[in-house]
A and B are shown apart, each in its own frame.
Chain A
């Protein structure tokens, strides 16, 4: 596929997501508005009301129902989308496991927002981090452009027959959702062709006959029934297998999409920024990576060998890419926009530290929890982290493994 002509338009992250969904020929959207995701649902309902899309839009009374509705729609073979944030995602929790267990490839944008209490509408990643082990693919966008691109890619990843897993695309609340940025949009037909029609695999029904894996009264099938100690474990093992296969699929979909868009995000799983000869490295997810890149460039001008590893796919965790990018580095700081209370560090830190444990020349690792509840991550704070990393690189000593930055203490 050759690169296609694109139009540059000003869109905030939420509108970029809504626009991508509009282009993906989605059959069902069931959603409940919650700040800072509301714009997505509002905008999409306008598309429906104006007849710009042929989508069944279901106004539900809660996020729990939004997810239930999405799962059941997806189980009929429909392409399905929803969006939420914070408490909305938490309310979905029970059904998120049903979505992954039933292998319904629902795509959902999660506009990352802090969890209550106290009530806070601003960005952090604690909502999605709570859903780490629920069996969903998780992809994080750095800017509004990537939010748009990732939604389109997400349908193709989720619905891939080797994957068949629900996929969430995270975008930072307000920082991306409400910020107008330049977004290049692909023509409608190019997106439609790229995502294609949703396929379903053939499965054996109760009479031993091969039928499409979808709810269809003409060919009855039960999806997600009771599954005790006889087969439950095998089904969970299959989910894990599909997650591992998703690593390759995410890369392939990213590469195929790049050919049309001309845009790449590392290899689709991780993005290495000025890492080749870097000695001190930060690891982060989401919009903060953009600010970090600016700081890295400034440090490089001073001759400091700084770099960044941005994790784009958090689930499945790209362990091999993390190892290949961090092995041999002197000091690494993992930046967490979430807290794992009592867990000695944030969730991303745990993941990165575990990934590099078996590497003989593993770097010294520290953790910085930042930006909870929307606390702004300023360039000077990132500089402070790199300064600390320089000290660690020189001395080989870590004084404090887990720290909080940008905090009154």
Chain B
């Protein structure tokens, strides 16, 4: 597998860095090479933040930010109005957005002429299962579905490494549900 690059958009406190880490940790369980890093800077609750994941079969030597991601993941729909979330996405780029909207509608709104859009009502889903509007694990479920880059079993291991019970179990529920509910266009 050639290098795959992911850009996570969230707001400070929503767990974008954690999501980027969970994906990397899942991939490392499958013997992949990984990098996960936040857009470096003092963390501020609520401010737009970015985090990145790189996954490859080969050792990763790049030590710069991600400029042309294969995937961009938007954890908070309010970012769409202010953050250029599609920037650098290529011909086969994938955009994953937390929104109740249909992917087709979103694609039109963002004036996207290429690539694929996936949507999921992550906030609603997280409220239903976690009781909190933390959407990072839901988005991870959609990434797994859209890319098949990691097995659900590896995600489970990463989640269990990261969260204590019953939080791990609940988050796995979110991931599995998001995996099922996601819609592509």
Residues in A lying within 8 Å of B, measured CB to CB: 8-10, 12, 121-122, 142-143, 172, 174-176, 178-182, 287-288, 290-291, 293-294, 374, 376-379
Whether the Cβ atoms of A376 and B33 lie closer than 8 Å is no
Beyond known contacts A142-B63, A180-B24, A182-B33: 16 more, CB 8 A cutoff:
A10-B21, A10-B24, A10-B36, A143-B61, A172-B63, A174-B37, A178-B37, A179-B37, A180-B35, A181-B35, A182-B34, A182-B59, A294-B62, A376-B65, A378-B67, A379-B62
Q: List 7 A-B contacts (CB under 8 A).
A: A10-B25, A12-B37, A180-B24, A180-B35, A291-B63, A377-B64, A378-B67
Chain A residues contacting B61 (CB-CB under 8 Å) are 143, 290-291, 293-294
- Distance A376 CA – B65 CA, assembled complex (angstroms): 7
How many angstroms between the C-alpha atoms of A320 and B34 in the bound complex? 36
Question: B1-41: which residues lie under 8 A (CB-CB) from chain A?
Answer: 21, 24-25, 28, 33-38, 40-41
* Contact between chains at A178 and B28 (CB < 8 Å): no
Residues of A within 8 A of B129 (CB): none
How near does chain A come to B159, taking the closest CB pair, in angstroms?
14
**Nearest Cβ on chain B to A216's Cβ, whole angstroms:** 46
A374 engages B28 (CB within 8 Å):
no
Count: A-B pairs, CB below 8 Å: 67
Give the docked Cα–Cα distance between A8 and B61 (Å): 17
The minimal Cβ–Cβ distance linking B172 to chain A, given in whole angstroms, is 19
Q: Is the CB of A379 within 8 A of B63?
A: no
Q: Roughly how many angstroms separate A374 CA and B64 CA in the complex, as a whole number?
A: 10
Docked-complex contact A181 and B34, CB < 8 angstroms: yes
Tell whether, in the assembled complex, residue B40 and residue A122 are in contact, meaning their CB atoms are under 8 Å apart. Answer: yes
Residues from chain A with Cβ under 8 Å of B84 in the complex: none
Say yes or no for B46: interface residue by CB 8 A criterion: no
- In contact, B63 and A121 (Cβ under 8 angstroms): no
Q: Beyond A178-B37, A179-B35, A181-B35, is A8–B63 a contact (Cβ under 8 Å)?
A: no
Given contacts A180-B37, A182-B33, A374-B40, is CB(A287)–CB(B28) below 8 Å?
no
- Chain B CB within 10 A, most for which of A10, A12, A288: A10
Whole-angstrom distance from the CB of A180 to the nearest CB of chain B?
Answer: 4
Does any Cβ of A come within 8 Å of B42's Cβ?
Answer: yes
Partner of A379, one of B21, B35, B37, B64: B64
Contacts of B21 in A (CB 8 A): 10, 180
B60 at the interface (CB under 8 A from A): yes
A121 x B42 contact (CB < 8 A): yes
Q: How far is the CA of A143 from the CA of B59 in the complex (A)?
A: 11
Contact between B62 and A291, CB atoms less than 8 A apart: yes
A178 to B41: give the CA distance in the assembly, Å: 11
Contacts of A374 in B (CB 8 A): 40
Q: How far is the CA of A178 from the CA of B28 in the complex (A)?
A: 17
Nearest chain-A residue to B61 (Cβ)?
A290
B119-150 CB contact bits vs A (8 Å, 1 = yes)? 00000000000000000000000000000000
